[in-house]
Structure 1
Amino acid sequence: MARLWAGIVSLGCIPAATALASSSVFSSSLISQNVFNGDNFLKYDGVRGPYVDRVSYGVSRDTPAQCSVDQVIMIKRHGERYPASGEGTSIEQALKKVNNTIAGNYNGDLAFLQNWTYFVPSDCYEAETWAGPYAGLTDAYNHGQEYRERYGHLWDGESLLPLFTSDFQRVIETAQKFGEGFFGNDSYSTKAALNIISESSSQGADSLTPTCRKQDDNAQNICNSMPYYLPQFDAAADRLNAQYQGLNLNWTDVVSLMLMTAYELNTRSSSDWIDVFTTDEWVSFSHIWNINFYYCSGPGNSYMRAVGALYINATLTLLNEGPSSGSLFFNFAHDSNITPIITALGIATPSTPLPTDRVSFHSPWKTEDIVPMGGRLTIERLNCTSSALAPAGTFVRLVLNEAVVPLQECQNGPGYSCPLNNYTEFVRGLPSFVPECEVPAEEPQYLDFWWNYTTSTEENYRRGSRCNGLA
């Protein structure tokens, strides 16, 4: 196969999009007419591989010159991990087919298997990865350091700062490592207070992982049919079966092997499996995950705007209260808890439903841009002086995976931000989670933990069961 993706190793831990996105002045030298964003494998890995920045619209990530950030509210997906247990079963079955057939016949596209070993240690399915340049725990720690550099002025270095995480081991570990990176290892133990929020549906509206009791049957039927078929997967199976007598891969085996490839990078610096599959096949693989998130927890599900509106409405209260309620709110959850928030904001919603039988090349719903491993949505409250753009005031800016993403209907503030008054009006037009999702009266009716949190440091180092090999 052509080695279109081989450049990934040279990226280290720095995504390809970062250099251009962080540049605020265009070069005066001859500008290249070649754009290589489409060559980055991390944009086609179905959000199963390492973090990658969102492709920027060109708006500077830096705070606008006439503004200062006085409040930050972030929600972050857990970091890079090993496959889920169910995924591991399908991966091992596909690998068994391959290994049983080609043993001793190491040539062709799979010749590298002579020296390749499966990368998931015993009992490590579901766990955060700790080894390799793209490891989940390393990614979370580095992100904490980056945000200390960017937003450290909002913490006085002495006050205790709560962190909020859903109650799932890899999410907790992501929050812990982010905290260690932000505070420094020593200060984390005494200056952070990890608040662990139950993932039980009985949490009602007081949750980072809210559940809607009403169901969109059409969306759920599509969601449950994963993996989705596209003809490119048959082409890959036919090509490999033709090379090895007796190999009988089907299209679902191909999807499992591609899934495995993405996960391999979460613990190793490279994967020979990437070049086993063609560009067209990786594009198709990416799209089946776009479909999955669109219908399972995105705009293809009629209740997800209400689910996401719960978080957005609570953040609106913080934004209107301002720094008096706190300047830094760091939250940690899962990908499927962030996509409803993106849905409520409407910043990636396509104009027509996503097709399930072909790739939608023109859709803004690209999961790699929305919820990569370690992905995050950061809401900035800007305090700005008067300028030609707008009078002095308070503005709201959305930053998704380190790229500024303006609201469709409100972007007339500095740095394409939205005046807080207009943002308030927008949010108040969203559906209400409690009635829309029929939250029982005996369960919490609003998100409260940002105002009623524990200051105890007891959970800062909580450890669950550790997978084999993790110190």
Structure 2
Amino acid sequence: MLLWRRTTLFASASWALSQVPLQPQDHSQGYQFDELLHLPGISPYFDAVGFGLNNATPEGCNVTAASYLIRHAAIYANDDDYEVYIEPFLEKLENHRSGWTGPLEFLNKWHSPIPTDKLEEITPSGAGDAYKVGKHLLARYPDLVPTTQKILADKKSRTYDTAKAFVRAFPHADEIEVVRILHDHNGSMDSLIPHKSCPAFTKEPGKDEMATFVSNYAPKVAARLGALVPVKLSDNDIVGMQQLCGYASAIDGKRSPLCGVFTDAKMDGLRIRLGSSLRSHGTPWLAAQSALFFSFDGEQQRSKSAQEGWPADQRLFLSFTHREVPPFVATALGLFNSSSNSAEEFPLNRINWTRAWKRGDGEIEL
């Protein structure tokens, strides 16, 4: 959300962190489909081409305050992804160490690079990415960075460790307090995990739609691979293999052979699967985020800021959260809205190839 008031510019953004780029990236790829650019929350890091969207400060304006909602850096694997989709497939693989043929022949000797004792932990490459983003903000806001005295992170180690890696990029890192919010005291987690501000919030909406979409494409993939595998693959196995394409590529620093197993359309199905879930969530947390975005101007606002626990003269506000929160916030703000009805925009039995998306250079400008 870029807001102009007189000559003052308030910048707020959500940042998606992941891995170091495997290669120089261009979203169009000329246009050759690159599945690693279409695995939300799992892909190795890449700089998105902005499609002409300029995130520079408009002429005549200056940035006097900025707020960033930052997702944690890349992790070895999300626990739900691992337990529901990846682990069951790996168990089948371990019990059938022969009989994989054709493009799946490598699985006869392949082993997962995901260490089960490090699920949810950020990878070394992820920590490096966090540091690089800190360097980027230092270059972008040289006047605001020195005001930073406090940074917020939620209780999970992956968000706290990301914040600690990020802050090393600031010259006065030793003077900055990284506050780890362990308990939701008087709404203290509202700006970090905004949906927690609504007791009625649930992640259940969207799950049925997600399962319906998967049931329309995964069986076709399993049937195509049926003659190449020694065991029957379930819908969840297909999703797990697709997720391993992203996680393994990010961990190993090179494209996983699993990525070549699927057609372009079926790999894009994994992205649509998540989108069919996110679109079903509501907006109970938008008020909490907006309150932070609009609290940076004037003596009265500085007093309010101090009362809320922020240093009175701080003007760069950084909050580290879960990977699903920035899409939730973008959805709540209506950035993905369309004049088409939801059934037409997000059909559950096919991919809507005409749906248009735009993004800024490396970050979402809200």
> After TM superposition, is the score higher than 0.5?
yes
* 8 Å Cα contact 1:160-1:193 kept in structure 2: no
Q: Which amino acid aligns with 1:188?
A: A
Q: Aligned runs of 1:1-400 on 2, under 5 Å?
A: 11-12=21-22, 15-17=25-27, 36=30, 39-89=33-83, 90-101=85-96, 103-105=97-99, 107-130=101-124, 135-156=125-146, 161-183=149-171, 187-189=172-174, 191-198=175-182, 200=184, 203=187, 206-210=190-194, 211=196, 212-214=198-200, 220-223=204-207, 226-227=210-211, 228-244=213-229, 246-270=230-254, 271-295=256-280, 297=281, 301=282, 304=283, 306-319=284-297, 321=301, 325-351=313-339, 352-353=341-342, 354-363=346-355
Tell me, in whole angstroms, the C-alpha distance in 2 between the residues paired with 1:151 and 1:113.
Answer: 48
- Which of structures 1 and 2 has the bigger CA Rg? 1
TM-score by structure 2 length? 0.78
CA distance, structure 1, for counterparts of residue 22 and residue 261 of structure 2: 22
Rounded to whole Å, the distance in 2 between the matches of 1:201 and 1:162 is: 18
Mapped to 2, the partners of 1:62 and 1:207 lie a distance apart of: 26
Percent identity between matched residues is: 22
What secondary structure is seen at the aligned counterpart in 1 of 2:279? helix
CA distance in 1, matches of 2:253, 2:130: 17
Counterparts of 1:111 and 1:35, CA distance in 2? 28
Residues 293 and 221 of structure 1, relative CA distance in 2, 3 Å threshold: closer
What code does the residue aligned with 1:326 have?
Q
Report if the CA contact (8 A) 1:46-1:287 is conserved.
Answer: no
Query: Is the alpha carbon distance of 1:208 and 1:37 closer, same or farther for their aligned partners in structure 2, counting shifts above 3 Å?
Result: farther
**Change in CA separation of 1:345 and 1:136 when aligned onto 2, cut-off 3 Å:** same
**8 Å Cα contact 2:67/2:318 also seen in 1:** yes
Aligned-partner SS, 2:324: helix
Q: How far apart are 1:128 and its partner, in Å?
A: 1.1
Paired amino acid for 1:75: L
CA RMSD, 1 decimal: 3.2
Q: Secondary structure at the match of 2:204?
A: helix
Matches of 2:91 and 2:169 in 1, distance apart? 40
Structure 1 length-normalised TM: 0.62
Q: Gaps spanning 5+ residues in structure 2: where?
A: 1-18, 306-311
Give 1:127's aligned amino acid: E
